[in-house]
Amino acid sequence: SDVIASVKLNIIVICYKYETSTLYDILVEVDRVLGGQKVESIAMLMHCCETQMFICFTDKKVFSCDSIKKDASVREFVINLVTKHMNVVSPNSHVDFLNSPSSMNSSSFIHSMERFTECP
Structure letter (DSSP) for residue 11? P
**Is the pLDDT assigned to residue 1 strictly greater than 80?**
no
Model confidence at 119, pLDDT cuts 50, 70, 90, reads low
Cα–Cα distance, 38 to 42 (Å, whole number): 10
At 72-84, the pLDDT tens digits run 999 899 889 988 9
| Rounded CA separation 50/41 (Å) | 25
Is pLDDT above 90 for 103? no
- pTM: predicted TM-score of the whole model, two decimal places: 0.83
52-56/61-64 β-pairing: antiparallel
Domain ranges, residue 8:
2-117
Q: How many domains does the chain have?
A: 1
Q: What are phi and psi of 6, to 5 degrees?
A: -95, 0
Determine the average pLDDT of the residues in 3-31. 86
Which residue would you say has higher pLDDT here, 88 or 116?
Answer: 88
pLDDT computed for residue 61 by the predictor? 93
**Mean pLDDT on 22-41:** 92
Please give the Cα distance from 60 to 87 (Å, whole number). 29
* 47 within 8 A of 18, measured Cβ to Cβ: yes
With H, G, I as helix, E, B as strand and everything else as coil, classify residue 63. strand
CA diameter of the chain: 37
